[in-house]
Every structure is written in structure tokens, then in C-alpha cells.
Structure 1
Amino acid sequence: MDSFVDGSGYLAACTAGLPTHGTLRAMRADLDEWERQASSPVAYGALVETGRSLFADLVGVEPARVATGSQTSAMVAVVAAALPDGAEVVVPDGDFSSLVFPFLAGAHRGIRVRSVPLDSLADAVRPGTALVAWSAVQSSTGRVTDPQPVLDAARSVGALTLCDLTQAAGVLPVDARPFDVTVTHAYKWLCAPRGVAFSTFSDAALDRLRPVQAGWYAGADVWASCYGPTMALADDARRFDVSPAWQAWPGAVAALRHLASLDTASSWRHATRLTDRLADTLGSPRSGQAITTFPDADGAALGALAAAGITASGRAGRLRLAFHRWNDEEDVARVADALAAVDGFRPEG
């Protein structure tokens, strides 16, 4: 079985995942092929299809419902472009900007973005709401949303649903089928190189969305789609594909193969056990999340962890820690020791 590189002291999977040894081998082999002028666009295309299938299995859909890309914001922009002028979009307060900005950028068309507390997301959906967009796991806090009330509320008024799985896929068991659209960048918990992202589409989304970013890779036959003016797009989600960032895909496929060999539910249990263990050690409430945060307005706690050789992150005035497969009880102890030395650190909240 493949294994991750040594991740001791690395608590930032929510910022960027770590590679496996297989991912590094695949990327180095690809560089060697490039050096020998042996790289092949056809071979890269085969890797894209392998990656599409692996991701489809991970989120419980058929490969025909999966589109490939490189950034989540570009995928969200496709959804934004399909909204009618004056449409209302409901999002949670403080959700990640890649999920929100493409809709705010439609203000010139009268697109209205209504931001509400996360706990009120389902209740905020009303007749006339065109779309509800949210992250399965909040980037800034790690909070996990129960999707069912939101899905039920959206269906009751005929609104589309868009869920960002970037902070969930790879550590939290997820099912993309209930959502009209999902978007996922693979460089966080899926531990792929940056530049590989996926979206999934329901039947309703495939009917209503237009591939406004279509290029040669969206063609039914990509190699027959290199030149205009005739356009024959794929009849499934591939019509939303964008030209792949080739050299990210060897490593991405190796990472996805490794994640496919793991039990995601076990990954979630492992991560949440460590966050709860840290909470117990610090005397703070358990969160039951893979991401845990603590107040750190001046960044003193983050600085103390960095000085102790621990990689973490700071978001929205809070210290943010993420536990993944490579972390263990020793990491919990190291974090607790470093935070104990921070004057005025209070782990409440």
C-alpha cells in the first residue's frame, strides 16, 4: 500500500494536503518523460479519465456526471452564468469566497446574494430563491452542515443546490447525488497537486446549465474539436470540462488511487478522535470535526506553533488546525504543549 510522506507536526490539510510517496514518484516520472520529450497528450487524457472515474466512485456518482477542471471558482461561475437576471442566491455568512464571488460578480445583472447565518440556511430559502450555495464543511471553522434540511427547503421552492465538497471529500464520507451541482478542488484533503478540480451535475443541472467555458476538451471527440467553427459538445458532464493542467494529473491520479484504498469513514473517525483528544487536553468543548479552531486574534498562538515546528493556519481571527491520516497522538501533545506556553491563550469557543 502507498503511504503519505512524514506528516509529523503538519496540521494544515485544510490548506493543502501532503503527497503520498506514490504521488511523488508519479510526478517525478512525468518530469523525466517531459525531459526526454516523451510526454503524450493522449496519455494525459487517459489519466484524466482515470481520475474522473476514481472521483466519481468517491462521491457516489457515475463518471458521466463528473466534469474536470482546475479551480472551483471557475466551476461556480458556470452556475452563476446560468441564473436569470435578478435571481436570488442564498449563501451562509462567511463561506469561502470562491463559492460566493461568482454570484456577487453578477450584480450588474441584478443577481442578489443574500447571506444568512449558517444555522438559518434552510429557513432562509423562500419562494423566488433560485439557488442555495454552501460548503459541506466550512473552511474557516470546520463546521459540518446537515444537508437534508437545506435540500428539502430548496426542492420545496424549485431552487437549485450547489455544495462545495472541497473541505469534505477525502476525510468525510460524502454523497454528491442529492445535490444539483458539487464542486471540489482536490489539493486539500484529497492530497492531489493543485490544479485538479471536479464538479458533478444532476439531470436538472445538465438541462439548465450552459457550458459557457467550453473549449476543445468539452467536445464529444476532443481531438476532433481543436478547431472551429463547428461545435459538437459531449452529451454528458464532459461538456463542462476545461483543458486539463496536464502535469498535475499524474500526481492527482496516484493520490486518488490511494484515497480509494482507504475507508473514508475511518479517516473521519481518526481525525475527529484527535481533535476531540486535543479539546480534552486543553479543557475546551469537543467539536467532533476534522478541523478545529480557537480564538487567536493577534496570531500569537499560530506563531507559537510555528516556532515549535508545527504547521497550522489562521483564518478569521482564529487558529485553525486540521487532523488527517498522517497525524497521531504525538501531534496532539505537541500542539497542547506549545499552546500552554502562550500568554493569555484561552481555548474557549
Structure 2
Amino acid sequence: MTSASLQSAIESFGDPRGYLAVASIGLPPRQAVDALTADLEAWSLADRDPQGYDAVIERTRASYASLVGVHPDRVAQGSQTSVLTSLIAAAVPPGAEVLCVDGDFSSIVFPFLQRPDITVRPVALEALADAITDETWLVVFSLVQSSRGVVADIASINAAAARHGTYTMCDTTQGAGVLPVDASLFDATVCHTYKWLCAPRGVAFLTLSTRFDALLTPLHAGWYAGDDVWKSCYGPSMSLASTARRFDVSPAWQAWIGAEQSIALFDGLDINEVWARASGLGDALCDGLGIPQQHQAIVSWPDASGADLQKLLGAGIRASGRAGRLRASFHLWNTEGDVDAVLHALR
């Protein structure tokens, strides 16, 4: 039985039948659209000012912190995961090893590859925990693999990292909003919110453990990283925030108007219930396709030619193709009717 809070959230998305592409881009809830529309109207009437967005950003930071189980002081905000990851890549000591997943999303791999003075070693996701050694300074991985939807075995990875004194970084972009996330389990997490958290593009978060925070340099520091933002507009005098906020970048204001509504919506839900619904629909699709259940919100299967994807698109079903596989992603607005529509289109 669907809880009242989840049912209310589902209804806020209208009736987007056939939309199975949240792994590419989420859909905005009604309250986010209303808030954005009102903000754009106010802007057009010269009734907005930069300072007016500060409270919105702090409320959104607090909602996100609550959602992922950390204090707001441990959360920095940005606009792209690759930019946030670059702060971590810059902190890796020369000669150190960074362990990553072969085929993981480029935004959490490429920044490390820009460091010719470190070793970046890719391994299969299934071998990640066993591949950590005393020489591994940092292990980097996605909670949910973008191309296949596979959920990482974080217990094994974290246990191995603890044994070897290795720092951990997890990209939760394909998990937060559909799969329960505890960011306190990692030294660092990055997350863009335009997928499963259904926010406008341009709102991303970095969480940091206290021990890892001390190793990073706020290379992107600007006025919004200041201890007092509106007294930090001019240099060279610099007084950065003492919390993770010193890693903040100046925000894309309008995006935060929508993000506040979307992230607060998910923070008010039982994400275990959301996951049970989404992964349950995924398993129902696997059953219909005659393939082993994947227990994932993202169901994928080989489709190198793109023929299956074209069948779905031709039937008005929005899905996506990645790395030679078709990717159908289920979220809280999907129903068994979407599963039936996919199976009918493919047959």
C-alpha cells in the first residue's frame, strides 16, 4: 500500500506516462514549476535581488543534508559534479594511487586523469573492494552505475578502505532521490540533483568528512565562499567560511528556486518506499523480458544497434541508450502500465 506522503508526491508530477528516462533527466514536480514561474515573473517586474536567494539556498542545503544524513555544515554547493570532483583531484598527493571503476561516469574520472603525477587505476566494479591496497590513497566510485544501473557494494568497499587507510569518494547522482543515501559513510560525496531529485540543472552538492575536509584547498573560492558573503565581494582581503561552505561557488539563482521545492519533497519521503516501488517495477520489466531480475531502478540490456530503443521511442516511450545498452529507468511516477507499454512496444 502506498503511503499518503508518497501518493501526494506522485500526484505532484501529473501523468507523465511512458517516461522512463529519469536516469538522463528528471521531471519537475508541480510546486517547482510554480515556484520557478513566480520567480521569473517577479524578475521580469524588477522585483528580485541577489540577496533574496540566500535563504532559498540555505533551506535547500539543509533539506539535502537531511536527505543524505549529514549536518549542513558538511555540505558545499556547486553546479557540476566534475567541478566539485576537481577539488578532490587537486588534493591527491603526487605519486599516490586513485582507484576507480572501469566504465564509470567521466565526471568523476576525468579530473583525476588530468594529474600526470598520480596513478589512476581502473578495475571492474565487482572487483573494487578486493583491489584496494595499502598503496590506494583514494577509491572513487558511483553508488549506482550510470550505464547499467548496478548498485555498488558499499559495505565491502568501505570495509576494505578502512583496512587499508584509504579515503572514499562516492558519486550519488544516480542514487539520491530513489535509493537511500547515507553520505556520512564516505569521506566525500558528489551529487547533481537534476536526475532522481528532479531539480533544475545547475544545483550540485559536495559533502565532506571532517578528516577529509582538512586536506582540500578551496581553489574555486569566490565571494560566495566568504564567511560573510556580502562582505566578500572584493579582494584582496579574504575571510572564507569555516564550514564546508568555503567550497561553495556562486549559485545559478533561478535553478535554486526549483531545487528548493524538489529536494524538500524528497526529504519528506521514505526513500526506502521509493526504492521498493522503482526497483519493483524494474524487476517486473525483467520478468516480462525473460531476463534475470536486476533489483534496480535502472534496467538495462544489450542493444548495440539501438533497435529496441527505436521501438520504444516510436511508441512514445522515452528511454535512453548508453554504452551499447538500452536503459529504462523507473521513478515514483511510473506504474505497471509503463512496464506493459514497454513490453508491448518490443513485441
Write the letter of the residue equivalent to 1:79: I
The answer to whether 1:62 aligns with 2:71 is yes
The answer to whether 1:248 aligns with 2:247 is no
Unaligned runs of 5+ in 2: 1-7
Choose the corresponding residue for 2:114, options 95, 98, 105.
Answer: 105
Deviation at 1:5, TM superposition (A): 3.1
Write the letter of the residue equivalent to 1:21: R
Judge conservation of contact 1:5–1:19 (CA < 8 Å) in 2: no
The answer to whether 1:289 aligns with 2:296 is yes
**Partner Cα separation in structure 1 for residue 62 and residue 113 of structure 2:** 33
For residues 171-225 of structure 1, the C-alpha deviation after alignment (integer angstroms, 9 at most, x for no partner) is 0011000100000000000000000001100011111111111111111101111
**Partner Cα separation in structure 1 for residue 223 and residue 28 of structure 2:** 30
The answer to whether 1:312 aligns with 2:315 is no
The answer to whether 1:47 aligns with 2:56 is yes
Deviation at 1:337, TM superposition (A): 0.7
**Partner Cα separation in structure 2 for residue 157 and residue 281 of structure 1:** 43
The answer to whether 1:79 aligns with 2:75 is no
Deviation at 1:112, TM superposition (A): 1.2
Deviation at 1:260, TM superposition (A): 1.9
Equivalent positions of 1:201-280 (< 5 A) are 201-280=208-287
The 4+ residue runs of structure 1 with deviation greater than 4 A are none
Deviation at 1:85, TM superposition (A): 1.3
**Partner Cα separation in structure 2 for residue 263 and residue 4 of structure 1:** 17
**Partner Cα separation in structure 1 for residue 221 and residue 162 of structure 2:** 29
Aligned Cα root-mean-square deviation (Å) = 0.9
Deviates more, 1:18-27 or 1:254-263: 254-263
What is the match of residue 345 of structure 1? none
Deviation at 1:258, TM superposition (A): 1.4
Structure-2-length-normalised TM-score: 0.96
Judge conservation of contact 1:217–1:242 (CA < 8 Å) in 2: yes
What is the match of residue 162 of structure 2? 155
**Partner Cα separation in structure 1 for residue 268 and residue 327 of structure 2:** 28
SS class of match (2:308): helix
Deviation at 1:87, TM superposition (A): 1.6
Deviation at 1:70, TM superposition (A): 0.3
SS class of match (1:302): helix
Choose the corresponding residue for 2:185, options 173, 178, 181.
Answer: 178
Identical aligned pairs, as a percentage?
A: 55
**Partner Cα separation in structure 1 for residue 268 and residue 62 of structure 2:** 14
The answer to whether 1:32 aligns with 2:41 is yes
Write the letter of the residue equivalent to 1:45: D
SS class of match (1:273): helix
Deviation at 1:254, TM superposition (A): 0.7
